[in-house]
Amino acid sequence: MQDPRESMYKERIREMETRISALERVIKLVQVINSKLELSPLLDTIVQVATQLTDTESASVMLIDKETGELRFEAVSSQISATIKPVAVPMEGSIAGAVAQEAKPLLIRDARSDPRWCQNVDQASGFVTRSIIAVPMTLHEEVIGVVEAVNKRYGEEMSWDDVETLSKLAAQAAIAINNARLVAELQQAYDELNELDQLKSDFISIAAHELRTPLSLILGYVNFLREDTSGRAREQIEVVLQSAMRLKSLIDDMVNLQEVDSGAAALELERLPVQELVQAGITEIKYIAAAKEQTISVSVPEQLIVVDADRGKLTLAMVNLLSNAVKFTGHGQRIGIRAEERNGTAQITVWDTGVGIPPEQIDRIFDRFYQVETSLVRRFEGMGLGLSIVREMVELHHGQVQVQSQPGKGSAFTLILPLAQPA
């Protein structure tokens, strides 16, 4: 005769084994759920997993619409999905509503005799509901929705074990839904930021371009006027000139900042004679040099030296070097620019007879925002971006920048660029 305790133990062990295997299934399926980052496929997966875990014919996920406070079907098993998805479920007098409001699961063995059962869904889908289990999805003690499973397969009865399994799933589903919502919010914020960034870039490009042309005219005319005037009028014109120069330096900084972000993405190469680059640089700075009565020596060979280059980016590098030459060189002194072909490379040197750079600082002047004099004691304008941009632009062209300088005597910056490949 078998010991009654032994058969009880055996029964217990069998129960536990069933529970463990149910839990294993939950864990496996929860892993599937957690691998989804987008809300809609996630909800569809939750529904599938819910029917598998509870061996039911159909399942659905309803979420509480934060604005209206109503429950809405967000995902439903495929056979009835399209017809009931738009249906809103009232909080009062419905099974899901009761579950959401009381934050407690329900097991209803005979749905048709329950006054809270809503026939609309069956009417709309042709589905026949017999039994329902419904569990709340809770996040930080707040109900965010309800998961329902309908009709046990093979005519079995719904059990409280099914409720427990579905509740476990709902707990994990709530976390996964929250994560998916956060990811979606983050993505939206990121997209908005990108759009704003693009707007900012476009705005700066257009503003800089539109400001440059009239400003060059102002600088040109003011320079001419200054030649023809004397005394008090000349002093006033000097003030206008200084202001216009400050504006130009601001616009240059704006363009530099813009270039910091855009980088290599937009490199537009063409075959470009360095003579044209030299000319473009001089055109940009000749009036500010004239305002300081500096002379610009230009030395370029007649034979064209051609490089494969982005005209805008290398012109920006030239303008930065030339503006520095003007800025760090005194009134009436000389600055210059020289181009030559040397050791199979194109070399453009911008030199000046200005303040020079202390040898221990030379390694740092190409760092972003580095300036030899700190801005508190500065005599010169600028943001400390010019040279870092020069180096970036030149490196984009597989070239390099060299600098030689002697304090009190002047500096020379040389851009070394590969020659254009023969066509």
**Residue closer to ligand ADP (CB basis): 104 or 364:** 364
CB atoms within 10 A of CB 65: 13
Confirm if 262 and 201 have CB atoms less than 8 A apart.
yes
- From CA 137, how far away is CA 418, in angstroms rounded? 65
Task: Draw the binding track, 55-74, toward ligand ADP (x: CB under 6 A; -: no contact).
Answer: --------------------
Task: Draw the binding track, 297-326, toward ligand ADP (x: CB under 6 A; -: no contact).
Answer: -----------------------x---xx-
**Lookup: tokens for 24:** 């294993």
348 binds ligand ADP, rule: CB under 6 A: no
* Nearest-approach distance from CB 286 to ligand ADP, in angstroms: 17
* Nearest-approach distance from CB 397 to ligand ADP, in angstroms: 19
Name which of 379, 384, 381, 357 is nearest 368 in CA terms. Answer: 384
Query: Which range in 37-45, 85-93, 136-144, 368-376 contacts ligand ADP by CB under 6 A?
Result: 368-376
Q: Which of 354, 392, 394, 415 is close enough to bind ligand ADP by CB under 6 A?
A: 354
**Residue closer to ligand ADP (CB basis): 307 or 387:** 387
Q: Which of 357, 393, 415, 420 is close enough to bind ligand ADP by CB under 6 A?
A: 357
**Residue closer to ligand ADP (CB basis): 336 or 354:** 354
Confirm if 221 and 244 have CB atoms less than 8 A apart.
no
353 binds ligand ADP, rule: CB under 6 A: no
**Residue closer to ligand ADP (CB basis): 216 or 404:** 404
**Lookup: tokens for 254:** 């704006």
349 binds ligand ADP, rule: CB under 6 A: no
Q: Which of 382, 394, 414, 420 is close enough to bind ligand ADP by CB under 6 A?
A: 382
371 binds ligand ADP, rule: CB under 6 A: yes
328 binds ligand ADP, rule: CB under 6 A: yes
Confirm if 286 and 369 have CB atoms less than 8 A apart.
no
Q: Which residue is nearest to ligand ADP (CB)?
A: 382
- Residue 199: phi and psi, rounded to 5, are -60, -45
Looking up tokens 């800089």, which residue turns up? 208
**Residue closer to ligand ADP (CB basis): 127 or 328:** 328
**Lookup: tokens for 267:** 């490199």
- Residue 18: phi and psi, rounded to 5, are -60, -45
Q: Which of 105, 145, 384, 399 is close enough to bind ligand ADP by CB under 6 A?
A: 384
Q: Report the number of secondary-structure helices (H) and strands (E) in the chain.
A: 10, 13
* Nearest-approach distance from CB 257 to ligand ADP, in angstroms: 11
3-state secondary structure of 297: strand
CB atoms within 10 A of CB 334: 16
Name which of 365, 262, 271 is nearest 320 in CA terms. Answer: 365
**Residue closer to ligand ADP (CB basis): 221 or 370:** 370
- From CA 103, how far away is CA 124, in angstroms rounded? 28
CB atoms within 10 A of CB 229: 14
The number of residues that bind ligand ADP (CB under 6 A) is 21
Looking up tokens 């930065």, which residue turns up? 320
**Residue closer to ligand ADP (CB basis): 65 or 363:** 363
The residues, ordered by sequence, that sit 6+ positions from 336 with a Cβ below 8 Å of its Cβ are 296, 297, 298, 299, 350, 351, 352
Q: Which of 365, 393, 394, 417 is close enough to bind ligand ADP by CB under 6 A?
A: 365
Q: Which of 87, 171, 383, 396 is close enough to bind ligand ADP by CB under 6 A?
A: 383
281 binds ligand ADP, rule: CB under 6 A: no
Apex 203 CA angle, 200 and 209, nearest 5: 140
387 binds ligand ADP, rule: CB under 6 A: yes
Binding site for ligand ADP (CB under 6 A): 320, 324-325, 328, 352, 354-357, 365, 370-372, 382-388, 411
